[in-house]
Chain A
Amino acid sequence: MPIMQGADLHGMQSGGLLSAHRSPWRLTALIAVSLLVVCAGGMVQLGAGSYDMSWRQAWEALVDPHLWEHPSRILRLLVGEGMADRLGCERCDTLPTSTLIVWTVRMPRVLVAILVGINLAYSGSILQAVTRNEMADPYLLGVSSGSGLAIAVVFMFLPGLGVHLPLLAMVGGLTAFAVVYAIAWSRGTSPVRLVLAGVIVGAIARSVETAMHYLAQDSSALRDATAWTSGSLIGARWEHVLMVLPWTSVSVIVALCGARYLDILLLGDATAKSLGMSIERVRFLLAATAVLSAASAVAAAGMIGFVGLIVPHMVRGLVGSPHRGLLLGCLVAGPALLIGADAASRLILNPLQLPVGLVTGAIGGAFFLILMRRKRDFGRL
């Protein structure tokens, strides 16, 4: 066929990670810098605290051969005493104090920061594509309302259920998402309907929550609830790591496999459908993944704001909107931002610790201020 001879087939060789023209060095640089921040912030977190250690001591505790040569001791730290006794793990009594502190208190906090950072960044990226709205964040579809309400109910009325708070917060968030989807559904959904339904559920839930705070007799319960809702990594333990990890894995796998679907969603519902996408099914699965990811992050660390909004923004600005690059960038940039903010939250008012949510809020505000002043076409996806 004559027309084929003219075809320029140079493109056939390209087929790397990103399409030919998007230079991969930006993504590489982003990954390198983020990893650096994660390591530096992580070391700060391992060394800092009421039991003061130098970085060297912290490092030695991290690689302590007393642990690494006895894997069953590591297992004991991971699964907790009760389970460890049943499994017959070696005891950890003989370990040096610094090792114990690093391994039971400080390392889980760093790991939770990494996982929650990934979860929020992925949740934000997915929801920004699903709603075709650059301002979408992980809490858009009811997660914050549902979790917030669940938390308030537990603190005010059911303090006995406090130990199950993470689980209840997660269930609350997922329930609210289901309500949002049901409200938005009428022979199919659309991005606008979803966002509006999220606003409706959010408004009602917030009123109820505020009313409960208002009526609350016990002001300490109020304080606890506020600490939760502002988001904090203080008190993160191995159980939190183990709780978030499965959801992080699920959302990373689903999102990376679904990168092409997310790209197609950005072309609009009609085009996506004309290309053969079962749009409602894809949209629901992706939204549900994002919400699971956000709800599990809330369960582990409360409602840390702005990470899920600014990380996808920053990464998109650097590597562009195609989701393969965007999601790979978010995989390291999310943890970097959260660990950086957490290290800052510890250092700013040392020895006092701020909830990390306050720091990310301030970073988020500053970020958008700069972006708005610098970019005229800001706000278009």
Chain B
Amino acid sequence: MAPASNPWKLVLPLAVFAAAVGAWEATVRLQGIPPYILPAPSLIGATMIADWPLLRASLLTTLGTTLLGLALAVAGGVFLALLLSLSRIVEYSLYPFAIVLQVTPVIAIAPLLLIYMPQDVAVLTCAWLVAFFPVLSNTMLGLQSVDRNLMELFQLYGAPASRTPLALFRSRLKALWYLRRPAALPAFLTGLRIAGGLSLIGAVVAEMAAGSAGAGSGLAYRIIESQYRLNIPRLFAALVLLALTGIGLYLLLAGLSHRFLRRWHESALAPEK
């Protein structure tokens, strides 16, 4: 994620995008395609402005669910990863379940969650569930990826004088803080980037599942609603907002990752000239 030093890297995709939008506009106008089949980009823009109060509220709802889900996933994932890395017993007894839940498409339990919980809680739970496991598994991987020699160095210089359980635990905490935490950062940030995208997907899927079940106000609900009412321009406007949310989230997390890793990690280095 080095800043694009080559201007073409920015100009070319923008040109392609502009050309595609232009071709879309021209096709709709020349062929006289009705807006309930395919609205022109200009009409989508106009709808966006006209329906902004409504769309804004929906955007804030979805964004709030996504960010809160992500935050809870990070808190839960990191906490559990730390717990698992500190105690073998906890790791052996819990990690298999984490894997089972990870390989199950948890999104499919959204309808079930909607039965058991108030709707907004169910949507949030869904976003949390899908974002949780990438954070957990990546953080765990990171915590385990400390150089073996570095751990031995730690044993040599930082090992406790006494071998009581408490002293050993404190030495584990110390190793966690000084070695595992920084070593886990790249993997954690990768998990965070994946989780950001998934959290949005989780929120959208749950909103869609909820949309048919009752009242809702998120962007995905707007899409379903617009579909029923054949308000296709508004459907497109909501879609554009969802895409922008995804892009914004990605850029934010990628920027965060770059900010933390740029001095030392291979993934964040600019290519040599």
The answer to whether A and B assemble together is: no
